[in-house]
Amino acid sequence: MQKLAEKDETKKEALDNFLEIAKKHGTPVFIVDHERIRQNYREFREALPRVQAYFAVKSNSDPEIVKTLYKAGASFDVASFPEFMIAYENIKDMPEKERQDWIWDKIIYANTIKRQETLEELDKYKPLVTYDNSEELKKIKKHAPHAGLVLRIRVPNTGSMVELSSKFGAHPGEAVDLILEAFSMGLVVEGISFHVGSQCNNFENYMQALQLSASILKESESRGHKINILDIGGGFPVKYNSKSKSFKTLARKLNAEIDRLFPKTIEILAEPGRFMVANAATLVAKVIGKAVRDEKPCYYIDDGVYHTFSGIIFDHCTYPIKAFKEGELKVSAVFGPTCDALDTISIAEELPDLDIGDLVYAENIGAYSHASSTYFNGFPPAKVVHINRQK
C-alpha cells in the first residue's frame, strides 16, 4: 500500500510539473525526460550484458537525446547522412584519430539502400554500412570502398507491430554467396545483421533469426571468411499496454540462445530505438474546440496525426488521451487541428467533460512521433522541452 501511495504521489508531481511547463511554454509541448532515457539504457545493458546498444536515431533524432545516450555509453544506428552527422557532432572535440576510432565502434549506417552521393560523403569516415544485394555491393565498391560491410538477412517478422522483412534483407540461402561476392571485390564483410520487426511480441522471431545467423556464420567460416560482428537489430517491446510482452523475458531467452550459439569472441550489437525513448516523452495539448456529433462528445486539440500523433499513421501505434481534470468519463472522439478528416486521434476515448482551454496529455509518445512531424496546413510541430538533463 505504501509503495502504491508513493507511486501515485510521484505521478501527481509529474503531472503538476507538466502543467507548469505547458503554462510556461504554451501548447502543444513535447516533454522529454532524460532521466527516463538513462534508466532505459541502463535496463537494456543490465538485461543484455553481451550486447552493445546502437540507438536507432530515426526513432527520435533530437540532438539532445543523442547527447544523453552518448554520455550514457550508447552507440548509434543511423539511416541517413543527416542522422550520421547528428551522431558525429557529439565527438567534434575529439582528436581526429580518436574520432575515427569512435566512428568505427559507435556508428553503423544500417540503411541497406544508399544514394551514391551519400556513399561518397561517408567513404572518408570509413564507417560500417549494411547491404543486402549485389547491386548495392557495386555501388559501395565504386563510391565507398573504405567502408566495412554488414550483410542484412531476411528473417521472420510475424507478430511485430511494424513489418520490415518485405523491404529489407537478403534471403538466408543467398547470404554466404553475397559475403563471398563482397570479398571477391576487395571489400571486407565485418558482420551480419537482421531485424525481426518493430515492437516484436513474437519472441520466436528472434530465436529463428539467431539460428539462421549462426548457420550463416559457420558456413562463411568454412569457406574461409570468419565474421566478427552480429547485429540483432531492434524490435524490443515497450510496455504500451497489457498486450505488450515483457522485455525481461525476451532478454533471458536472448542471453541463453546467444550463449548457446555464439562464441564469446563475437561482437554483438543491437539497434534499440523505441525501447530507449518511447516512455521518455509526454505530449501536452490544449482543447481548442468541442462539439457533439451523433450524441458523442468531440474534442479538437492543437496537435494531431500530422504532428506528434503521426505514429498513429506511420507506426501503427495508439496513444490514449488523458485529462488533467477529473469527472465522469464518457466515450468521446478526439481530433487534431488540421482541415483533414484523416487527422483523427481517437473515436473512442474515455474522457470527462472538457471545456475549451482545458489541457490533455498522452504518455509513451517518445518514439516515431515528433520525429515525423510536418508543417501541414501551416501548423508547426510541438515545442520540445527537455527535463532532467545532465551537464
Per cent of the chain over pLDDT 70 is: 91
263-294 per-position pLDDT tens digit: 999 999 999 999 999 999 999 999 999 999 99
Domains for the chain: give ranges and CATH numbers.
Answer: 2-31+282-387 (2.40.37.10), 35-277 (3.20.20.10)
214-271 per-position pLDDT tens digit: 999 999 999 999 999 999 999 898 988 877 789 999 999 999 999 999 999 999 999 9
Residue whose grid cell is 534471403: 171
In angstroms, rounded to a whole number, what is the distance separating the alpha carbons of residues 264 and 287?
55
**pLDDT recorded at residue 10:** 77
Q: Decide the pairing of beta strands 281-293 and 359-362.
A: antiparallel
Is the distance from CB of 144 to CB of 188 less than 8 angstroms?
no
pLDDT > 60? residue 103 = yes
> b or e along 275-293 (b: 16 or more beta carbons within 10 Å of the residue's beta carbon)?
bbbbbbbbbbbbbbeeeee
Q: Which of 200, 298, 317, 339 is catalytic?
A: 339
Q: Write the single-letter amino acid at 36.
A: R
Torsion of CA 260, 262, 264, 270, to 10 degrees: -110
DSSP H helices in 223-287: 247-261, 274-277
Nearest Cα neighbor of 315 from 60, 44, 33, 36 is 60
9-19 per-position pLDDT tens digit: 778 888 999 99
33-80 per-position pLDDT tens digit: 999 999 999 999 999 999 999 999 999 999 999 999 999 999 999 999
**pLDDT recorded at residue 150:** 97
339 is catalytic: yes
With 0.85 as the threshold, say if the pTM is over it: yes
